[in-house]
Structure 1
Amino acid sequence: MPDPTESSSRRLLVSLRETLAEPAAGQERLDRITSLIAEQMGTHVCSIYLFRDADTLELCATEGLNPDSVHKTRLRVGEGLVGRVAKTAHPINSGNAPQERGFRYMPETGEEIFSAFLGVPIQRLGERLGVLVVQSKDARQYSDDELYALEVVAMVLAEMTELGAFVGEGEALAALHQRPVMFQGTVGQEGVAVGHVWLHEPRVVVTNPIADDYETEMRRLHEAVDRLRVTVDEMLSAAPGGDKDQLQVLEAYRMFANSRGWKRRMEEDIARGLSAEAAVEKEQSAARARMQTVPDPYLRERLHDLDDLSNRLLRILTGQGEHTGAERPSDPILIARNIGPGELLDYGRSLRGIVLEEGSVGSHAAVVARALAIPLIVNAQRITTEALNGDPILVDGEQGIVHLRPEETVAVAFNDKIAMQAKAQQRYATIRKEPALTLCGQRIALHMNAGLMADLPSLESSGAEGVGLFRTELQFLIRSKVPKRSEVAALYARVMDAADGRRVVFRTLDIGSDKVLSYMKRQDEPNPALGWRAIRVGLDRPGVLRMQLQALIRAANGRPLSVMFPFVAQLDEFRTARDHLMREIDREGRLGRALPEKLEIGAMLETPSMAFSPRQFYEEADFISIGGNDLKQFFFAADRENERVRRRYDTLNVSFLSFLEQIVKRCEDTGTHLSFCGEDAGRPVEALCFAAIGLRCLSMRPASIGPVKHMLRRSNLAEARAVIDTARASGAQSVRPAIIDWLRRRD
Structure 2
Amino acid sequence: MDINAGGNSRDLLKKLRETLAVEGDGQERLDHIVGLVAEHMGTEVCSIYLRRDRQTLELCATQGLKQESVHQTRLRFGEGLVGLVAKRAAPINAADAPQEKGFRYMPETGEELYTSLLGVPVQRLGEVLGVLVVQNKSARQFSEDDVYALEVVAMVIAEMKELGAFVGDGEAMTAPHQRPHLFKGASAQEGSAKGVVLLHDPQIVVSNVVADDPEAEKERLSTAMDQLRLNVDDLLTSTNTGGQDQKDVMEAYRMFANSKSWVSRLETSIDRGLTAEVAVEKEQSATRARMARVPDPYLRERLHDLDDLSNRLLRLLTGQGRRAGDAVPENAILVARNIGPAELLEYGKTLKGIVLEGGSVGSHAAIIARAWAIPMVIHAEPITREALNNDPILVDGDQGVVHLRPTEEVTSAFQDKIAMLTAAQTKYAAIRNEPATTLDGVTVGMQMNAGLMVDLPSLETSGAEGVGLFRTELQFLMRNAVPKRDELAALYSRVMDAAGDKRVTFRTLDIGSDKVLSYMKNINEPNPAMGWRAIRMGLDKPGVMKMQLQALLRGAKGRPMNIMFPFIAQYSEFLDSRAMLEAVVESEKKLGHAVPSELKVGAMLETPSLAFAPDQFFETCDFISIGGNDLKQFFYAADRENERVRSRYDTLNVSFLSFIELIAERCKSFDTPVSFCGEDAGKPVEALCFAAMGLRNLSMRPASIGPVKHMLRKANLAEAKQVIDTARGSGAQSVRKDLMDWLKNRG
Question: Which category describes the TM-score, using the shorter chain as reference length?
Answer: over 0.9
Q: Which residue of 1 aligns with 2:151?
A: 151
Aligned-pair CA distance for 1:411 = 2.2
Cα deviation code 1:115-153 (max 9, x no counterpart): 122211111122111111122223323343332222111
Aligned-pair CA distance for 1:524 = 1.8
Q: Which residue of 2 aligns with 1:584?
A: 584
Q: Which residue of 1 aligns with 2:193?
A: 193
Q: Which residue of 2 aligns with 1:348?
A: 348
Q: For the Cα contact (< 8 Å) 2:559–2:596, is it kept in 1? A: yes
Cα deviation code 1:171-208 (max 9, x no counterpart): 55434422222223333333322222222222322221
Q: For the Cα contact (< 8 Å) 2:95–2:141, is it kept in 1? A: yes
Q: Which residue of 1 aligns with 2:461?
A: 461
Q: Which residue of 1 aligns with 2:117?
A: 117
- What is the identity, as a one-letter code, of the residue corresponding to 2:669? D
Q: For the Cα contact (< 8 Å) 1:394–1:403, is it kept in 2? A: yes
Rounded to whole Å, the distance in 2 between the matches of 1:689 and 1:584 is 40
Aligned residues: 746
Q: Where do 5+ consecutive residues of structure 2 fail to align?
A: none
Q: For the Cα contact (< 8 Å) 1:368–1:474, is it kept in 2? A: no
Q: For the Cα contact (< 8 Å) 1:626–1:677, is it kept in 2? A: yes
Structure 1 stretch displaced more, 386-395 or 661-670? 386-395
Q: Does 1:378 find its partner at 2:378?
A: yes
Cα deviation code 1:409-437 (max 9, x no counterpart): 22222222111111100111111111111
Cα deviation code 1:603-659 (max 9, x no counterpart): 111100011111111111111111111100000000010000000000000110011
Aligned-pair CA distance for 1:244 = 4.6
TM-score (norm 1): 0.95
Q: Which residue of 2 aligns with 1:494?
A: 494
- What is the identity, as a one-letter code, of the residue corresponding to 1:602? G
Rounded to whole Å, the distance in 1 between the matches of 2:328 and 2:552 is 39
Rounded to whole Å, the distance in 1 between the matches of 2:574 and 2:231 is 51
Structure 1 stretch displaced more, 529-538 or 276-285? 276-285
Structure 1 stretch displaced more, 464-473 or 351-360? 351-360
Structure 1 stretch displaced more, 82-91 or 39-48? 39-48
Cα deviation code 1:65-110 (max 9, x no counterpart): 3333222211122211111111222212223222222222212234
Q: Which residue of 1 aligns with 2:60?
A: 60
1:125-274 matches, cutoff 5 A: 125-170=125-170, 172-240=172-240, 244-245=244-245, 247-274=247-274
Q: For the Cα contact (< 8 Å) 2:210–2:273, is it kept in 1? A: yes
Q: For the Cα contact (< 8 Å) 2:606–2:631, is it kept in 1? A: yes
Q: For the Cα contact (< 8 Å) 2:96–2:116, is it kept in 1? A: yes
Q: Where do 5+ consecutive residues of structure 1 fail to align?
A: none
Q: Does 1:705 find its partner at 2:705?
A: yes
Q: Which residue of 1 aligns with 2:433?
A: 433
Q: For the Cα contact (< 8 Å) 1:239–1:247, is it kept in 2? A: no
Report the 3-state secondary structure (helix = DSSP H, G, I; strand = E; otherwise coil) of the residue aligned with 1:206.
coil
Q: For the Cα contact (< 8 Å) 1:8–1:145, is it kept in 2? A: no
Q: Does 1:532 find its partner at 2:532?
A: yes
Q: Which residue of 1 aligns with 2:728?
A: 728
Q: Which residue of 1 aligns with 2:608?
A: 608
Rounded to whole Å, the distance in 2 between the matches of 1:303 and 1:477 is 24
Aligned-pair CA distance for 1:710 = 0.9
Rounded to whole Å, the distance in 2 between the matches of 1:251 and 1:676 is 45
Q: Which residue of 1 aligns with 2:621?
A: 621
**Structure 1: 4+ residue segments shifted above 6 A:** 2-6
Rounded to whole Å, the distance in 1 between the matches of 2:720 and 2:42 is 79
Rounded to whole Å, the distance in 2 between the matches of 1:120 and 1:134 is 9
Identity %: 68
Rounded to whole Å, the distance in 1 between the matches of 2:131 and 2:90 is 10
Q: Which residue of 2 aligns with 1:646?
A: 646
Could you say if the C-alpha distance between residues 420 and 390 of structure 1 is closer, same or farther in structure 2, counting changes exceeding 3 Å?
same
Q: Which residue of 2 aligns with 1:448?
A: 448
Q: For the Cα contact (< 8 Å) 1:432–1:462, is it kept in 2? A: yes
Q: For the Cα contact (< 8 Å) 1:30–1:61, is it kept in 2? A: yes
Q: Does 1:504 find its partner at 2:504?
A: yes
Cα deviation code 1:655-702 (max 9, x no counterpart): 100111111111121111111111101101111111112111111100
Report the 3-state secondary structure (helix = DSSP H, G, I; strand = E; otherwise coil) of the residue aligned with 2:348.
helix
Q: For the Cα contact (< 8 Å) 1:183–1:380, is it kept in 2? A: yes
Q: For the Cα contact (< 8 Å) 1:12–1:149, is it kept in 2? A: no
1:36-75 matches, cutoff 5 A: 36-75=36-75
Q: Which residue of 2 aligns with 1:719?
A: 719
Report the 3-state secondary structure (helix = DSSP H, G, I; strand = E; otherwise coil) of the residue aligned with 2:104.
coil
1:328-339 matches, cutoff 5 A: 328-339=328-339
Aligned-pair CA distance for 1:396 = 2.0
Q: Which residue of 1 aligns with 2:545?
A: 545
Report the 3-state secondary structure (helix = DSSP H, G, I; strand = E; otherwise coil) of the residue aligned with 1:566.
strand
Aligned-pair CA distance for 1:715 = 0.8
Rounded to whole Å, the distance in 2 between the matches of 1:29 and 1:213 is 24
Could you say if the C-alpha distance between residues 136 and 178 of structure 1 is closer, same or farther in structure 2, counting changes exceeding 3 Å?
same
1:300-315 matches, cutoff 5 A: 300-315=300-315
Q: Does 1:97 find its partner at 2:87?
A: no
Report the 3-state secondary structure (helix = DSSP H, G, I; strand = E; otherwise coil) of the residue aligned with 1:129.
strand
Aligned-pair CA distance for 1:261 = 2.7
Rounded to whole Å, the distance in 2 between the matches of 1:189 and 1:587 is 43
Q: For the Cα contact (< 8 Å) 2:241–2:480, is it kept in 1? A: no
1:680-695 matches, cutoff 5 A: 680-695=680-695
Rounded to whole Å, the distance in 2 between the matches of 1:348 and 1:453 is 12
1:666-677 matches, cutoff 5 A: 666-677=666-677
- What is the identity, as a one-letter code, of the residue corresponding to 2:726? T
Rounded to whole Å, the distance in 2 between the matches of 1:592 and 1:24 is 84
Report the 3-state secondary structure (helix = DSSP H, G, I; strand = E; otherwise coil) of the residue aligned with 1:645.
helix
- What is the identity, as a one-letter code, of the residue corresponding to 1:538? G
- What is the identity, as a one-letter code, of the residue corresponding to 1:646? R
Rounded to whole Å, the distance in 1 between the matches of 2:375 and 2:187 is 8
Q: For the Cα contact (< 8 Å) 1:25–1:169, is it kept in 2? A: no
Q: Which residue of 1 aligns with 2:660?
A: 660
Structure 1 stretch displaced more, 294-303 or 383-392? 294-303
Report the 3-state secondary structure (helix = DSSP H, G, I; strand = E; otherwise coil) of the residue aligned with 1:613.
coil
TM-score (norm 2): 0.95
Aligned-pair CA distance for 1:236 = 4.6
Structure 1 stretch displaced more, 135-144 or 155-164? 135-144
